[in-house]
Amino acid sequence: MYLKHLNILNYKNISQAELPFCDGINCFVGPNGAGKTNLLDAVYYLSFCKSYFNSVDSQNICHSEDFFVIQGGFDRSDSDEQIYVALKRNQKKQFKRNKKEYSRLSEHIGLLPLVMISPSDERLIVEGSDQRRKYIDSVVSQYDKSYLEKIIRYNRALLQRNTLLKKSDRLNSGLNAQLDVWDEQMVLLGEKIFDERTAFIEQLVPVFRDFYEHICGGHEAVDIVYISHFQKGDVLEMLRENRERDVILGYTTKGAHKDDLQFLLSGKAVKREGSQGQKKSFLIALKLAQYEFLSRFNGFGPILLLDDVFDKLDQERGNRLIQLVSQDRFRQIFITDTQKKRLGEIVEKTGKENRFFEVVDGAVKIQE
């Protein structure tokens, strides 16, 4: 699968762009703040129906404009897919596949698999558990639509339970009866979510370790450990035992919405012990493992977006990364960099077809 062309109107600082891409490596070069990352984000939007960086759609409209439009033409398993998204201020977003609008955006997720590697991925390491849960859910949802539906239903039940808790100042028989209903739903859905998250992590970790070893030369041991209340006993009983505490706090303290991942380097938390280069290597290996996982499931490679990946990597790790993406299993790749000469030398080593685009103040032109 690959993206053949991309048309943009008023998306972030890109007022207009019509870009033809090659079925290889496409490079966006230019100074910081020029709009290189915004171009990658537009590609990401066509796959996930949202921005990678800003979930408030109206804030992605170019300043002083009233709308944005993104259109992309994809070759997917030798068939053409035309994807169109448009948003006007204070109106519902339109998302269309081959001129037919989706009734639910969740129907689109997984059609165009994509993996994004960005400096902002550091939030997976340094921020709270919600970031790591979102990561798991975004990957599993790309190959299992029923999983996404379970997440949606679980979050609705959690919202209802939390609403009851916030409105109450003490437990009583009426509140207990209502909580029983939502607790049972959360546990039923939560067990299924836990099983699918467990299966995903078990398959991901060995591939992740292989990629990290390749990037770092095999000198460091890494691991990812999944943590869930469902590993510790009867979650339904936990919910009942913690009701008084939950009423005081005004939210639910047990369940699948509290799951987390531990990222470990030589048995210690990467967050505390890892250098900038080690953290970046860890995240790149994680995302490449995600790429491999989705490739095996779909039978073809996702689109790979690499945003400023060579910053904070020493030359040795950068060279090993290039060796990896030079392999045939990586098909279409988009890369951003501030240094055209450096990126040109890197891309030349891959032997892949390539195309360069210069980005200056939101304007994009092909480099001949």
Is residue 33 marked as binding?
A: yes
Tell whether residue 274 is among the known ligand binding residues.
no
- Determine if residue 24 is labeled as part of a ligand binding site: no
The answer to whether 37 is a known ligand-binding residue is yes
Is 157 one of the annotated binding-site residues? Answer: no
Asked if residue 36 belongs to a known ligand binding site, the reply is yes
List, edge to edge, every strand of the sheet that includes 260-265.
222-227, 260-265, 268-269
Output the known binding site: 30-37
Residues comprising the binding site for ATP?
A: 30-37
